Amino acid sequence: MTYLLETSLAVHLLRGNEALSQRLRPLIATGEVAISACTAAELYYGARRRRTPEAELEQVTGFTGSFEILSFDDDAAQVYAALQANLHQSGMVLPTMDVQIAAVALAHDMIVISSDRHFTLIPGLRVENWLSGETSGDS
């Protein structure tokens, strides 16, 4: 696998961004893109907060079923601990779930697809913003 789809772009897909969907479709078909369990959790949480959670949960379940879901396992936990310690030492505070998503990507040597700029602040993380065309990291 090459890419890890982060929550911000997953939300754009769920909201019907057709250009993004067309770009991602061949990667899904070939198994080159996955999501983390952290992204799935954020999507399910968002769905449960809606006025019609049943319909939203059904949409999220269908969406997440299109991807391999990577666990936040022991390898990712060790990467996460190192990342958080380094970020803390440098005075940077990033959302915990996003650092966990970054840790999963780093543990699997994947490129994160995200429109959240703070992912570009994580050392060693390769990031592509398919909404703007920006890339960062060692890609």
What are 27-55's pLDDT values in tens digits? 999 999 999 999 999 999 999 999 889 99
CA 14, CA 27: separation in Å to the nearest integer? 17
Task: Tell me the average pLDDT across 83-106.
Answer: 96
Residues 95 and 78 sit within 8 Å (Cβ to Cβ)? no
Residues 131 and 9 sit within 8 Å (Cβ to Cβ)? yes
pLDDT tens per residue, range 112-133:
999 998 899 999 999 999 887 5
Alpha-carbon torsion angle 75, 113, 22, 61, nearest 10: 50
- pTM comes to 0.90
Which domains are assigned to the chain? 3-136 (3.40.50.1010)
